[in-house]
Structures are given as structure tokens and as C-alpha cells.
Amino acid sequence: MPSPRMPHLLAAVLAVALASASTACANQAVTIPPPAASTNASQPAAAAPAQPGAKVIFDTDFGELNDDSQALYLLLQNGVNVLGITTVSGNTWASEGAAYALRQLELENKQSIPVFEGASDPLMGSRAATLPSEAQQFGVDSSYAGAWSHPKPADYQHLAQPPYGGYAKTAKNNGNAVDFIVDTIKRNPHEVTLFVLGPATNVALAVKKNPEIVPLVKQVVYMGGAFDVPGNQGPAAEFNIWFDPEAARIAFTTPFADQLAIPLDVTDKVFYGKAEYDRITGGANTPITQAFKDLQAPEFTKDPKYRTHLWDALTSAVFLQPSLITGSVVRRVTVDTQDGVNYGRTLGFDPAHAPAGAQPVRIVQDIDIPKFYDFFVATLTRPLAP
């Protein structure tokens, strides 16, 4: 769905990248992990975080104490070395995400972590104007459209409402998010895990502009997709993929050495409600637990039966504690980018019968939910990590 609203910079970058990337990508020497069978063995969660000091780039459509925010708390509270945060439009505008991320880093005394504002529109441009048509023709749920539900702010310091606690004193980094991803991976070859917690626009631009980074990425971890369950933005697509299907297709079909997806197949099974909220807020006050009280209490006061999912938070949890995974499967993955009812559907194929280009991705299907919540609550109720 091309759109005249595609920003000139993005268009230029993509045009240059697309012209050179296909052959460059094909020349990369990449180790593809062998297909693995489903696993269902339940293992006890380790007591200590598995990834202290791990290097992460956190690519995100960040909101105030939303699932991206909770995912960041989990990483930082467990000693992960977050090298930088790159924002992308999805649930929020990229500019809003930058403001919210800066504010949270200030709350955690982590102002040294740089925040880069990334792509404001999908590769093929905004579809905000055609949402009614998508809803009418394809059953897309247009009642929720993330960033497209409200006007884009003038910039990250002029949101419709200031962030919780006010605007951060720290400014965003004025560099380019895509260049930051590229440069950081080159400076830390085979060491960086790329978290993709929103639409994959920044990642797609990075691998198309600089395909030489592909074999240097240690791992890509996605929240996204719906393989054997319905979408949450209509019958076929999960929101992150639906927002920028072309970017998701580029990302999933890039021959990264190691790709891990946490899709709706597992996140649909994990509910967060007042019982979990009470566990987090029932103990000593910390800046984190106070934020939960200030931002979530009104929802539970209004409706004690309110519940939601934790999406991105599960992504951080299984990265930190892989033993939480009790069921997963490797499939070769691509994304349907044909205009129609399946626009944005993630397609996972038997590795032995997959179309050309689809890459192996480990898809998480089940986690140990009680152990996840023990880990989630323990992490979020500890004093702030130094």
C-alpha cells in the first residue's frame, strides 16, 4: 500500500538500500541453525538471571508503563547492558516513545543510556487514512490503531500531555537510529542482541542500508506475529506486524544467525490482572512500584476485573530466563505482504518444506506462567539496580 506520505529520507534510504541489498545479503556467510523438534520438557527456572552484562539494543514503540516499559525494567533490573534505545512508531509515535523512554531512564538513574528517535512511518507510509477501508474489507480492528489513533506531536518535548513525572531533563540523542544500530553492531561484533518490540521498520532499514551487519548480530528477539492463533488487529495479523508488514517481512527473512519470536501464540495465554498488580504494589515502595500504583490503580479502581496481556515483558523474561520456555518450535518464517485479508500474517513453515527466503525462527509457544510471575514480581519489587 504505497503512500505519498512516506518521508523523503526514509524513501531515499530504502531506495538506495533495496538497490544493493539483495546481492549483498546473498553473499553473507551465515550459519543457519539446524531445524529443531518441538520441546515440551518443563524445566525449573534458574534462580539468577542468565544474561548479566549481555549487550542489547532495545528497539521499541515505548509507552508509559506499557509492555515495552516493563520489558525495559526487567532487563535493567537484571544487569543487562542496554547499549541504546531506538524508538519506532507503533503503539505510540516514535517521538512519544523517545519522551517516555527518557523519562523512565531518569526514574531508574540510567540517563547514560542514549535514546534515538527512529522511523515515524512504516516503509510504505502511513495507512491511517485507509483504516476504515481495511476494517470494512478485511475485518481489521480499527478501534485500536496505536499511533494512528491520535495526531503526531510536534516533537518529543511537546506531547499532548507531559509524561508521568514531567519531561526528562536528558535530551534524546540527535543521531540517526538506523546508523546507531549499524554502528553499534559493528563495534560489538557477535555480541549484540537486537530486541524488536514494535514494528520492525528501524531494523529493516538497517539491514537494507548496511547488510554487512547481518552476520555480526548475535541474536534477534521479537515480540510479534500470530502463527497458530488469530491476530489481535483483525483475523490475521498481530499489531506489530500489521503496522509495517513489509519491514517485518524484511526482518524475518534476513539470514540472522539466531532469531527468537514471542508471538500471540504464547502471549495470549498470560493474563495480567489485579492479583498480579497487588503482588507488585503490596510491598515496599520503590520508584518502580510507585509508578505501578500511580499509573495502574485508576484502571483497577474503575474495574477490578480488568485484565490485559504482557506481550513485550514476556520477551525480556524468556531472554533473561530461557528455562521459562516450556514449548517452542523452529519454523521458517516470512510475512504475507499481499494486499488483502492476510496482509501482515506471519507464515511459519516446516523447515523441510519452506519457500525460498523464509528463515529459521524459534517460536515460543508455552512458558511456565507461575514461574514467570515469580520472576516478574521479584524483579519489579527489588530496589533499583545500581
User: Using CB under 5 A as the criterion, which residues of the chain lie in contact with Ca ion when the complex forms?
Assistant: 61, 68, 197-198, 312
> How distant, in Å, are the alpha carbons of 16, 296, 309 from that of 370?
48, 22, 15
**CA gap 228, 215 in Å, rounded:** 30
Shortest Å, Cβ 91 to Ca ion? 6
Report the nearest approach of Ca ion to the CB of residue 71 (Å): 8
Q: Which is nearer to Ca ion, 312 or 368 (CB)?
A: 312
- At 263 the three-state DSSP class reads coil
Nearer to Ca ion, 109 or 308 (CB): 308
Q: How buried is residue 127: exposed, middle or buried, by Cβ count under 10 Å (0-12/13-18/19+)? A: buried
- Residue 345 · residue 249 · CB < 8 Å: no
Q: Which lies closer to Ca ion via its Cβ, residue 68 or residue 96? A: 68
Min dist. Cβ of residue 318 to Ca ion (A): 15
The minimum distance between CB 144 and Ca ion, in angstroms, equals 13
Strand 325-335 and strand 346-349: the pairing is: antiparallel
- Note whether 60 and 101 are within 8 A (CB): yes
Closest CA to 2 of 10, 86, 89: 10
Nearest 5 degrees, angle CA 108-CA 112-CA 116?
100
First to last CA, the chain: 46
Residue number, 178 or 262, with CB nearest to Ca ion = 262
In the complex with Ca ion, the residue whose CB is nearer, 240 or 326, is 240
Output 159 or 354, the one with its CB closest to Ca ion.
Answer: 159
Q: CB of residue 205 vs Ca ion: minimum separation in angstroms?
A: 18
Q: How far is the CB of 368 from Ca ion (least distance, A)?
A: 23
Q: Which of 92, 98, 197 is nearest to 152 (CA)?
A: 92
What is the DSSP secondary structure assignment for residue 227, as one 8-state letter?
S
Closer of 68 and 265 to Ca ion (Cβ): 68
What residues have CB less than 8 Å from 11, skipping those under 6 apart?
none
Residue 64: CB minimum distance to Ca ion, A: 12
CB of 101 to Ca ion, least distance (A): 12
Cα dihedral sign, 337-340-343-348 = negative
| Number of CB atoms found within 10 A of residue 385's CB | 15
Residue (200 or 207) nearer to Ca ion, CB: 200
